[in-house]
Structure 1
């Protein structure tokens, strides 16, 4: 038997998943690592710890599967986007791995937007101007940490760091490159105007390569440690978001994938790069013929956790005693209330927001509260609010695509809830299907690896690898209710922009 291994370098953990050649899941191992948040806005991790997690997870799945080095067909990588590490002349990190969640570049993202025509930079690069992007982070370091900026030989991301350790070569795939805010989508090269803005040239950045780029002759000590051959093909792969679409078999025109974990995202694949005149969505590379447009939201399952911990303490205790999942209790309570929660609207911006507002100062709120509203209405409104927020990103996608998607494929923890799945079908007025796919980003990486090896010409093989579980059709009566609420929901968030800034400033001053 031959084996494929997908490695996903995530924000909170790295996982390695081993499949057979047909894409059947065989084994998985993951290792968590801490995120350092010593003060507001800081979100960093230790790159050496993450590299160790890559080595140990691969070693573990190979050993537990009983696979021999000669039978490992390929390793292929998925990775979280927007990370930044400054490397010095001796190829040692000058910084920790600054993650997408780090918000210290906020002021400088605003500066790029206002003083350097940020919308035009976005249109060329596909990454909205936001503190998450390496573009904003380097611009911040240039102004606030001149010592680090001047000592930096290479600006890289976490996957480039891992590949440097394995091969002593600085490379970055087009997918991760397209999420830096520094790569031109048309030429697939570093954008000259952005280089000028940052005061750097291409020599300070990794070499850009295709997502199907194969590397061999890995450092022998690491090959021996993991249990692979030095000549095992190592495919650089792509970012976790675009690979997740691939891994749930959602890469054709008209198919949309929605993922809700702690945060969330909505994405669809198109054949040419496209951006949005209003700057609401991203455009990232999957391959030279596949581009992923969509938007990430900060507020997904994190809103449910807040509800559970702050509003449902007694119900959660009862659920624990009965051995019932606390989130099932939450959605069951929400199901007692009619769609629309009797006119109660919740904006779920508990953690600021990326798409569609791209406003780190956005704050959560209930609107429409009356004496007739009870706890169950607040819960229902919050669940609806998360989906209504995603729906506003969906509207931007439809605008850019010039057509309405035929189906949504829903993944992530929320897809376990029948109530939430049906709610999505009703809010989006579209058929919702839950694919059966194990660790979609890792599977997507492996299928991309098969294409890199020339064993498949397209991605049709996914039809046999990815099954279906649940299917939901919209309920027209509920659709009509939500269509009445959506304009109110959207107009409110637009009108509160100034108030978001003011309350954020107040909270920073008086917390």
Structure 2
């Protein structure tokens, strides 16, 4: 009996996940393969694109073996990936440089130059354009050799199909919007970059090509499977969180993280993620959420982590319930890899403050979690004040959303109810699966897809905790200015 399915890939910072769904978008099974982060210098972050592809092959075989599904029954493939990386490839298909990923902060000078050019603070060191400028200025020979500059998603589609194409949610040099395209053209000219080095544009649901014989051997699949445009991790997670309508907001707690607000498309708003021709996702992002927590836990709960592995976070949830909201005065800044707006500081760092001899590791980990929520509030608060609107509810997904303590703190600190859908760790891959399902004609559009996402847990703000956190936030929001001389 044939069991039809699609494969959706979620290529993140620490690994790649493959998720199978049926043709209605229902989760079937998942598998993960990890890879490492290369940090040649402080503030630099790179990964090997060929390792991406090798791990895609491994994880495909793993999920098919685990699920018992047959390669010949796959109906479609889509990739969802981290964004803002650059992967230069020459005419022979040789990767010329490790991917300079979203986490990398080396291009601070280039970002400053762009901000001066446009007269606005639009860009930070982690953004796409400054990275391409850095590559051109510091690796001129490699830049000249590069025939195509991919990002992660277009690179994987190219490896799978032999076709170069980038979807609208991952493109930063081309747009279907004429006004935004004029901005891109002006930028390319001012920066002296070559437009022909960047792949052509497709929609997430567009058919890009089919799995080649070589790719089929490397992935453990059969040739001819349709490969669709796919999307960046932010739109994928937006869909998978079930919050695609105008005014809806989601929170993503992964290696990095953000609050994402669905808003009407505007060519004047450049620091957004395109969703479709009518909608954008305004981002209120943090450079490191899970990365900061993982470091803290690895230092303070090392023995438990060695003994329990991934189960240490369930244990941690019970530990942190013993500490009241506000962590009894302990504050932590989770800026381990620099930080994005409102400060745009690649040199910002993590700190633990106001410790005394009565505090222990539980206070520090809880304070770190609360520091993430405070930072998200700092990022979005001005927008809420200026717009006069706040969402009625936030849908939270990602690995961090499995922590009841963290989600309750988010609800209390933002003073907004938080809901967590089923399978929140797979939200990005499930959202990506709908790119293939819409392309196959199994689903009409992304709004219909989001309507199928069911809520599993909810957290309401608690008045007493809201007051405690509000007072602590008044102190936290001034910490950057106090600590800046140290950076």
TM-score clears 0.5:
yes
Matching of residues 255-266 of structure 1 within 5 Å: 255-266=248-259
Match of 1:158 in 2: 152
Match of 1:36 in 2: 38
1:74 to 61, 73, 76: 76
The 2-side partners of 1:50 and 1:320 are apart by 27
Structure 2, unmatched stretches of 5+, are none
2:103 to 93, 101, 104: 101
1:503 aligns with 2:481: no
1:113 aligns with 2:92: no
CA-atom RMSD, angstroms? 3.1
2:286 to 294, 297, 309: 297
User: How far apart are 1:63 and its partner, in Å?
Assistant: 5.1
Which range is displaced more, 320-329 or 41-50?
320-329
Which range is displaced more, 23-32 or 426-435?
23-32
Structure 1, unmatched stretches of 5+, are 123-128, 505-511
Match of 1:23 in 2: 25
Q: TM-score, normalised by structure 1?
A: 0.84
User: How far apart are 1:101 and its partner, in Å?
Assistant: 2.1
User: How far apart are 1:486 and its partner, in Å?
Assistant: 2.5
- Partner SS, residue 135 of structure 2: helix
1:410 to 376, 396, 416: 396
Q: TM-score, normalised by structure 2?
A: 0.88
The 2-side partners of 1:462 and 1:287 are apart by 14
**Per-residue Cα deviation, 1:328-379 (whole angstroms, up to 9, x for no partner):** 5544454444433444433222222124322111123345556776665444
Judge conservation of contact 1:69–1:228 (CA < 8 Å) in 2: yes
- Partner SS, residue 170 of structure 2: helix
Residue 400 to residue 215, structure 1, CA distance change in 2 (3 Å) = farther
The 1-side partners of 2:99 and 2:308 are apart by 42
1:427 aligns with 2:419: no
Judge conservation of contact 1:76–1:449 (CA < 8 Å) in 2: yes
The 2-side partners of 1:67 and 1:326 are apart by 31
**Per-residue Cα deviation, 1:7-39 (whole angstroms, up to 9, x for no partner):** 122222222211112222223232222332233
**Per-residue Cα deviation, 1:157-197 (whole angstroms, up to 9, x for no partner):** 122222223333321111011xx4x4568436471111112
User: How far apart are 1:91 and its partner, in Å?
Assistant: 3.5
Match of 1:208 in 2: 201
Judge conservation of contact 1:43–1:99 (CA < 8 Å) in 2: yes
- Partner SS, residue 228 of structure 2: strand
Match of 1:250 in 2: 243
Match of 1:390 in 2: 376
- Partner SS, residue 216 of structure 1: strand
- Partner SS, residue 108 of structure 1: helix
- Partner SS, residue 53 of structure 1: helix
User: How far apart are 1:3 and its partner, in Å?
Assistant: 0.8
Which range is displaced more, 237-246 or 325-334?
325-334
Match of 2:227 in 1: 234
Residue 327 to residue 217, structure 1, CA distance change in 2 (3 Å) = closer
The 1-side partners of 2:428 and 2:7 are apart by 11
User: How far apart are 1:400 and its partner, in Å?
Assistant: 6.9
The 1-side partners of 2:404 and 2:309 are apart by 19
